[in-house]
């Protein structure tokens, strides 16, 4: 009764509208943990807060905000100091969780279902393909952003005392991020996934001594090769174990960052000093509203760009190749781009040394950098050695990445290579990208003008002839015999309603003077839609 009387008393005093507004204001104050409507308006307009400052109360009352410092040193808030890369790393991780949970709903990690579930996500789930694209793009984005964040903290010397441990936890986060991408790679259970991960796990096998390597691989796969057990383990690592690890290590990492403060630009401090934590009152930039709105803007714009890249096909879309097939090794197996450098190393020599020991040393070296760099100065001009080392490492990374691609030191028979370039096992390739009905039925020969073929097919045949010459020249360069007197045929048959059979046949003169051939057939359906993807 008392409450009701109170309420009617209030309404009598303020009127219904006034009373409701007051109630609303109370509500806002509760939600924001301390700021009422006028405080919010003042915040948005950039006015000074009232006293006592309700914005600081938000930091002490709200869980989310208590993680953030209530003010920063003015000098570290410039976009060009951190590029907000730590924030972006965190954000991409959350984006992955949200889109990942969406995908989880429609996905079961078994060899019988996984691939079919991917097809269903892309063809039967509204926004399914969109979510999958975001998940894939943000995963690659996260690898890039985390790496750039490391580069920035290296270049600003922010790993030095007192931030050594921050850096060390950062290296763990980098490894976890890479492993997230790698374990996610297997889940679609297509050829791309299967073979990239086969290479990856065969490296675990190579870890010395053999007993340890073998045990590591068995532990990862639950069997000598990838199968139902391996898929389940990768799935659990991907959706549960590694994310939890990242969350935990992130909090350690970020706690350190907040404790010691973000490092000031080196030029603003004496060498060997660290004044990040003592921020003079006139240098303070408060999280509310300055940094908060900076962050909102950065995240908003980044998300918009990310989505736009997908919607306008600037990002070509998450790939999906044929169903995983252990009996069919692709002509080229390429690791995801961020591991190409390891694949490049592998081409240089012994897999144990190049594939396991060296990469391990690289990451171990990264981890201990703060503990072996005794140079107290964070200024670039005092850090010639460190920065030169960085340049060398960067160049090495770029070169090794290139060496990891099939362009370097891969010797597949040239005729097979030609066919692969015309009609790859996976992806589209020029023949599939030609409109289906322009593939005129008939037997076509690169040596003739193919006058009765469609114009598009004639162009294809020219391209075919050109590829034979090119692969011949490349083979000669490598000292192989190549394709002397090489020519090619393309035989196109109507096979079924909407289905054509295309046979590629490459001819050349062998060492003994006899004609050699290589042949491969493909089936192309009118509606396969390769060109569009």
Among 115, 154, 234, 339, binds other proteins (CB under 8 A): 115
Name the residue among 405, 392, 340 with its Cα closest to residue 365: 392
Q: In the structure, how many helices (H) and strands (E) does the chain have? A: 21, 6
User: Which one of other proteins, ligand HEM, none interacts with residue 150, CB within 5 to 8 A by kind?
Assistant: ligand HEM
Structure-block tokens of residue 99: 């889109």
Among 39, 129, 445, 471, binds other proteins (CB under 8 A): 129
User: Which one of ligand HEM, other proteins, none interacts with residue 71, CB within 5 to 8 A by kind?
Assistant: none
For the bound state, the minimum distance from the C-beta of residue 530 to other proteins, rounded and expressed in Å, comes to 8
Nearer to other proteins, 511 or 532 (CB): 532
Does residue 300 interact with other proteins by CB under 8 A? yes
Q: Is 457 exposed, middle or buried (0-12, 13-18, 19+ CB in 10 A)?
A: buried
Residues found in the chain: 533
Does residue 173 interact with other proteins by CB under 8 A? no
Which stretches within 312-383 are classed as H helix?
Answer: 340-346, 351, 358-372
- The H-or-E segment that residue 174 falls in is helix 164-186
Nearer to ligand HEM, 303 or 333 (CB): 303
Q: Name the region of 286 (left: φ>0; alpha: ψ -120 to 50; beta: rest).
A: beta
Binding mask 44-63 vs other proteins (x if CB under 8 A, - otherwise)? xxx-----------------
CA distance 400 to 422: 27
For the bound state, the minimum distance from the C-beta of residue 93 to ligand HEM, rounded and expressed in Å, comes to 6
Q: Is 352 exposed, middle or buried (0-12, 13-18, 19+ CB in 10 A)?
A: middle
Does residue 508 interact with other proteins by CB under 8 A? no
Does residue 527 interact with other proteins by CB under 8 A? yes
For the bound state, the minimum distance from the C-beta of residue 334 to ligand HEM, rounded and expressed in Å, comes to 25
Does residue 124 interact with other proteins by CB under 8 A? yes
User: Which one of ligand HEM, other proteins, none interacts with residue 332, CB within 5 to 8 A by kind?
Assistant: none
Residue 435: HSE in the Cβ half-sphere, 13 Å Cα cutoff = 5
Does residue 119 interact with other proteins by CB under 8 A? yes
Strands 499-509 and 515-525: antiparallel
Does residue 463 interact with other proteins by CB under 8 A? no
Strands 487-496 and 499-509: antiparallel
Interface region with other proteins, contact rule CB under 8 A, candidates 88-96, 116-124, 164-172, 374-382:
116-124
Nearer to other proteins, 56 or 528 (CB): 528
**Residue 22 CA, distance from chain mean position:** 49
Does residue 532 interact with other proteins by CB under 8 A? yes
CA distance 200 to 202: 5
Number of residues that bind other proteins (CB under 8 A): 48
CA distance 197 to 193: 6
Give how far Cα 249 sits from Cα of 100, 166, 340, Å.
Answer: 20, 10, 27
Among 14, 274, 290, 334, binds other proteins (CB under 8 A): 290
Among 152, 323, 332, 379, binds other proteins (CB under 8 A): 323
CA distance 291 to 76: 11
Measured distance between the N- and C-terminal CA atoms of the chain, rounded to whole angstroms: 68
Among 27, 94, 127, 248, binds other proteins (CB under 8 A): 127
For the bound state, the minimum distance from the C-beta of residue 68 to ligand HEM, rounded and expressed in Å, comes to 10
Residue 285 dihedral angles phi and psi, to the nearest 5°: -115, 120
Name the residue among 505, 531, 527, 504 with its Cα closest to residue 434: 531
Does residue 223 interact with other proteins by CB under 8 A? no
CA distance 211 to 208: 8
User: Which one of other proteins, ligand HEM, none interacts with residue 18, CB within 5 to 8 A by kind?
Assistant: none
User: Which one of ligand HEM, other proteins, none interacts with residue 319, CB within 5 to 8 A by kind?
Assistant: none
User: Which one of other proteins, ligand HEM, none interacts with residue 410, CB within 5 to 8 A by kind?
Assistant: none
For the bound state, the minimum distance from the C-beta of residue 84 to other proteins, rounded and expressed in Å, comes to 13
User: Which one of ligand HEM, other proteins, none interacts with residue 173, CB within 5 to 8 A by kind?
Assistant: ligand HEM
Q: Is the dihedral of CA 459, 524, 412, 450 positive or negative?
A: negative
Name the residue among 307, 312, 111 with its Cα closest to residue 227: 111
CA distance 411 to 474: 10
Nearer to other proteins, 129 or 205 (CB): 129
Residue 282: HSE in the Cβ half-sphere, 13 Å Cα cutoff = 0
User: Which one of ligand HEM, other proteins, none interacts with residue 165, CB within 5 to 8 A by kind?
Assistant: none
Q: What's the per-residue H, E or C state across 227-262?
A: CHHHHHHHHHHHHHHHHHHHHHHHHHHHHHHHHHCC
Nearer to other proteins, 119 or 394 (CB): 119
User: Which one of other proteins, ligand HEM, none interacts with residue 159, CB within 5 to 8 A by kind?
Assistant: ligand HEM
- The H-or-E segment that residue 492 falls in is strand 487-496
Nearer to ligand HEM, 181 or 198 (CB): 181
User: Which one of ligand HEM, other proteins, none interacts with residue 209, CB within 5 to 8 A by kind?
Assistant: none
Residues that bind ligand HEM (CB under 6 A): 82, 84-87, 89-90, 93, 146, 149-150, 153, 156, 158-159, 163, 166-167, 170-171, 173-174, 177, 246, 250, 253-254, 257, 262-263
Nearer to other proteins, 127 or 371 (CB): 127
Is the CB of residue 28 less than 8 Å from the CB of residue 37? yes
Nearer to ligand HEM, 178 or 468 (CB): 178
The residue ranges that bind other proteins (CB under 8 A) are: 43-46, 112, 115-116, 119, 122-127, 129-130, 289-290, 293-294, 296-297, 300-301, 303-304, 307-308, 311, 322-323, 495-499, 501, 521-529, 532-533
């Amino acid at each position: 009764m008392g409450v009701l009387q109170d309420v009617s008393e209030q309404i009598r005093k303020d009127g219904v509208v006034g009373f409701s507004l007051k109630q609303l204001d109370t509500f806002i104050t509760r939600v924001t943990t301390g700021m009422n409507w006028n405080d919010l308006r003042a915040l948005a307009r950039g006015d000074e807060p009232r006293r006592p400052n309700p914005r600081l109360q938000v930091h002490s009352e709200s869980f989310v905000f208590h993680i953030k410092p209530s003010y920063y040193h003015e000098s570290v808030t410039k976009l060009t100091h951190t590029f907000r890369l730590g924030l972006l790393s965190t954000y991409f991780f959350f984006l992955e969780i949200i889109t990942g949970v969406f995908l989880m709903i429609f996905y079961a990690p078994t060899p019988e279902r996984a691939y079919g579930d991917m097809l269903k996500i892309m063809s039967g789930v509204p926004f399914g393909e969109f979510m999958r694209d975001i998940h894939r793009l943000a995963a690659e984005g996260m690898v890039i952003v985390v790496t750039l964040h490391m580069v920035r903290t290296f270049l600003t010397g922010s790993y030095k005392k007192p931030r050594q441990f921050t850096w060390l936890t950062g290296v763990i986060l980098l490894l976890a991020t890479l492993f997230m991408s790698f374990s996610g790679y297997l889940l679609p259970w297509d050829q791309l996934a299967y073979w990239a991960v086969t290479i990856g796990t065969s490296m675990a096998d190579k870890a010395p001594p053999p007993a340890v390597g073998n045990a590591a691989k068995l532990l990862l796969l639950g069997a000598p090769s990838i199968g139902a057990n391996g898929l389940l383990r990768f799935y659990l690592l991907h959706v549960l174990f590694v994310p939890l690890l990242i969350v935990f290590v992130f909090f350690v990492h970020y706690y350190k960052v907040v404790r010691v403060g973000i490092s000031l630009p080196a030029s603003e401090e004496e060498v060997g000093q660290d004044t990040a934590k003592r921020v003079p009152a006139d240098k303070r930039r408060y999280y509310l509203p300055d940094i908060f709105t900076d962050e909102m803007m950065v995240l908003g714009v980044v998300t918009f760009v990310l989505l736009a890249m997908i919607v306008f096909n600037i990002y070509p879309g998450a790939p999906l190749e044929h169903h995983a097939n252990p009996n069919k090794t692709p002509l080229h197996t390429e690791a995801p781009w961020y591991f190409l450098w390891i694949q490049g190393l592998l081409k240089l020599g012994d897999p144990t040394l190049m594939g396991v020991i060296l990469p391990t040393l690289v990451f171990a070296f990264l981890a201990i950098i703060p503990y072996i760099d005794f140079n107290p100065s964070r200024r670039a001009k005092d850090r010639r050695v460190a920065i030169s080392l960085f340049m060398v490492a960067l160049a090495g990374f770029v070169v090794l990445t290139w060496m990891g691609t099939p362009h370097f030191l891969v010797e597949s028979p040239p005729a097979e290579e030609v066919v692969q370039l015309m009609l790859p096992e996976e992806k589209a390739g020029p023949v599939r990208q030609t409109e289906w009905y322009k593939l005129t039925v008939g037997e076509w020969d690169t040596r003739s003008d193919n006058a009765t073929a469609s114009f598009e097919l004639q162009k294809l045949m020219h391209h075919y002839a050109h590829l034979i010459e090119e692969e011949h020249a490349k083979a000669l360069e490598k000292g192989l015999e190549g394709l002397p007197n090489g020519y090619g045929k393309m035989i196109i048959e109507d096979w079924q309603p909407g289905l054509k059979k295309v046979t590629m046949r490459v001819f050349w003169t062998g060492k003994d003077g006899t004609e050699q051939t290589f042949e491969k057939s493909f089936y192309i359906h009118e509606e396969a839609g390769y060109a569009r993807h």
